[in-house]
Structure 1
Amino acid sequence: METVPEFSLLLPVYAGDDPSFLRLAFSSSVNDQTLRPSEVVIVQDGPVPAPLAEELARIEAESPVPVRVVRLAANGGLTVALNAGLEAVSYPVVARMDADDVSAPERFSKQWALLSRGYDLVGTGMVEFESDPDSPSAQRIPPVGAERIREHARTHNPFNHPTMMYRVAALDKVGRYQPFGKMEDYWLGIRLIDAGARVENIAEPLVKYRVGAGAFARRGGWQEAKTEWALQREMLRMGFVTQGQYLRNVVIKGVYRLMPASLKRVLFRRFVGSGLPGDQQ
């Protein structure tokens, strides 16, 4: 007898989220899925404005699957919110979703097909959009295969965080999410790979990722550069990169973090997110 797929959808929300974006994110990841999650755990990361609170109440009342809202008294950031959500989920497999992105209808069925074969983490490709989900500006195709993923991880995050679907037990072995600036997902991926977790990516873009104005500016600055250097030190300490790779990464990534946003956008599109036909860089 075939086992019925059971997994939780983990969706963090905070005061800055748009209720209409949340409605679309939820609908695409629950109502429109060919394989629906067994439950949805929404983490409200601190107080939210009335319109967003009303949207959360509407979702709870109208969802076709059980919804649990975990309300945190204060905004603690993404790491705190995701760990709180992991404490609340009922199933051993969890799918990630952001409150302003859009999932393709077959996303979870395709990821589950790999997880059911014993993988611990499965990510997917994604396309970026600014306002219209049907008008993508670029795509991010991740590396596929264990060796390519490990090699890629030495220089770039090999997983698109909003697309992740993983086993909670695998995260438990490495300490779940840990604070690391805005790179808590990259740090998680490195620790999972280093611990021997079975990881894979689906190259097909199964998530539409919303990028707002100023996205590339937020990827830079001294704080981001210092976080990048700290991550490289940890990778060197654990033997994930060699001394030569460490020095190369510190220089290249430091320069990237400190360069103007306009130039950063071009380089990101060139080396991380490939442009789509007609993309103006």
Structure 2
Amino acid sequence: MTPSPCVALLMATYGRDDPKHLSEALDHLARQTYPHQRMRLLLAIDGPIPESNRQVIGAFQASSSIRTVATEIPRNGGLARALNAAATKLSGEDEYVLRVDADDLCHPDRVLLQVEQLQADVTVGILGSAIEEFESSGATLGVRTYPRRDQVRDYIVKASPLAHPTVCFRRNAWDALGGYRDVAFNEDLDMWFRALTQGIVIDNLAQPLLRYRISEGFYSRRSWSKAFAEYRCYTIGLYRLFGISWRLAVPAARLAIRLMPRAVARVIYSGRSWRRRMLNV
């Protein structure tokens, strides 16, 4: 019987991660129905972390049959650098690279379903899924879906076509992209633009395979520097993908929304029908 393909789970954690949320994220990895002997967790520890977080990681290593390969980074350098550092531990056997975050909760069948889909459709290079958004209190906010392959190019004009923590890369797509670039606050969006420019097919499963935590900090991420970094990433990406077109006006509209006060941003984000009609942000 042919063994299941090897999967590398790519995660980064840093000093401000809540140990309870980290423990929950790792616990959901331990519940995966995919054969644990065919998975490895490539964990980047991005700078100093509290002892409580180390204890969480140690408990996972001691109890889980998923092997953990940790990469210690002396000073915090950001998500892109941390993920790339973890990815240096990829082996020649790893056929898929699956992103996991340190505070989101994977569906038990996430790895199994994504690998099965990529095995069934060899034309897809990057596969994401819908997400179920929830507050730290546990209250579910709803399900957010993402475009299928034939809608991705149009969708990226308005918003990211993938929920980053849901992504599974086919290994040759990961290698072709060369990992993440150090693009401030937008390493994932930059990668999706580069993938489409290179002709890598992006698709999403309609089933939500991740519970995505919406914390209070989610609404406070709209600083001037982050908003303008997003604007720059979109403008460059759209130009490289489509050239000069009306699409270049969309990032300016997004910028205006990003700079709104936190309370207004919360109302807009919660207003799904309004968001869908306007910019799907």
Alignment partner of 1:140 out of 124, 141, 144? 144
1:182-211 CA distance string (max 9 Å, x none):
111011111112211122101211101112
Q: How high is the TM-score relative to the length of structure 2?
A: 0.89
Report if the CA contact (8 A) 2:173-2:200 is conserved: yes
Report if the CA contact (8 A) 1:174-1:191 is conserved: yes
Q: Residue 120 of structure 1 aligns with which residue? A: 125
The one-letter amino acid of 2:142's match is A
Report if the CA contact (8 A) 1:9-1:41 is conserved: yes
Structure 2 CA distance, aligned partners of 1:131 and 1:211? 7
Report if the CA contact (8 A) 2:231-2:252 is conserved: no
Q: How high is the TM-score relative to the length of structure 1?
A: 0.89
Q: Residue 48 of structure 1 aligns with which residue? A: 49
SS state of the match for residue 88, structure 2? helix
SS state of the match for residue 160, structure 2? coil
Structure 2 CA distance, aligned partners of 1:196 and 1:63? 38
Q: Residue 33 of structure 2 aligns with which residue? A: 34
Alignment partner of 1:167 out of 142, 166, 170? 170
Report if the CA contact (8 A) 2:97-2:174 is conserved: no
1:249-271 CA distance string (max 9 Å, x none):
13211211111122222323345
Identical residues among aligned pairs (%): 29
Q: Which has the higher strand share?
A: 2
Shift in CA distance, 273/178, structure 1 to aligned 2, threshold 3 Å: farther
Query: 1:158, CA displacement in angstroms?
Result: 0.4
Q: Residue 9 of structure 1 aligns with which residue? A: 9
The one-letter amino acid of 1:125's match is A
Q: Residue 263 of structure 1 aligns with which residue? A: 264
- Which sections of structure 2, spanning at least 5 residues, go unmatched? 277-281
Query: 1:20, CA displacement in angstroms?
Result: 2.2
Query: 1:273, CA displacement in angstroms?
Result: 10
Structure 2 CA distance, aligned partners of 1:202 and 1:213? 28
1:108-165 CA distance string (max 9 Å, x none):
11111111121211101111212244x3113221111x22011101221000001111
Report if the CA contact (8 A) 1:46-1:74 is conserved: yes
Report if the CA contact (8 A) 1:107-1:206 is conserved: yes
The one-letter amino acid of 2:86's match is G
Shift in CA distance, 238/274, structure 1 to aligned 2, threshold 3 Å: closer
Structure 2 CA distance, aligned partners of 1:150 and 1:183? 18
The one-letter amino acid of 1:95's match is L
Report if the CA contact (8 A) 2:5-2:95 is conserved: no
Structure 1 CA distance, aligned partners of 2:254 and 2:243? 14
Structure 2 CA distance, aligned partners of 1:274 and 1:243? 23
Alignment partner of 1:193 out of 196, 206, 212? 196
Aligned positions, number: 270
Structure 2 CA distance, aligned partners of 1:268 and 1:212? 13
Q: Residue 250 of structure 2 aligns with which residue? A: 249
- Work out whether 1:221 is the aligned partner of 2:218: no
Query: 1:274, CA displacement in angstroms?
Result: 8.1
Structure 2 CA distance, aligned partners of 1:101 and 1:239? 31
1:9-57 CA distance string (max 9 Å, x none):
111111111222222111212x211114511111101111111112222
1:84-126 CA distance string (max 9 Å, x none):
1111122131111111111111111111111112121110111
Q: Residue 183 of structure 1 aligns with which residue? A: 186
Structure 2 CA distance, aligned partners of 1:44 and 1:269? 33
Q: Residue 65 of structure 2 aligns with which residue? A: 64
- Which sections of structure 1, spanning at least 5 residues, go unmatched? 276-281
Query: 1:237, CA displacement in angstroms?
Result: 3.7
Q: Which moved more, 1:261-270 or 1:38-47?
A: 261-270
Shift in CA distance, 260/8, structure 1 to aligned 2, threshold 3 Å: same
Structure 2 CA distance, aligned partners of 1:204 and 1:272? 20
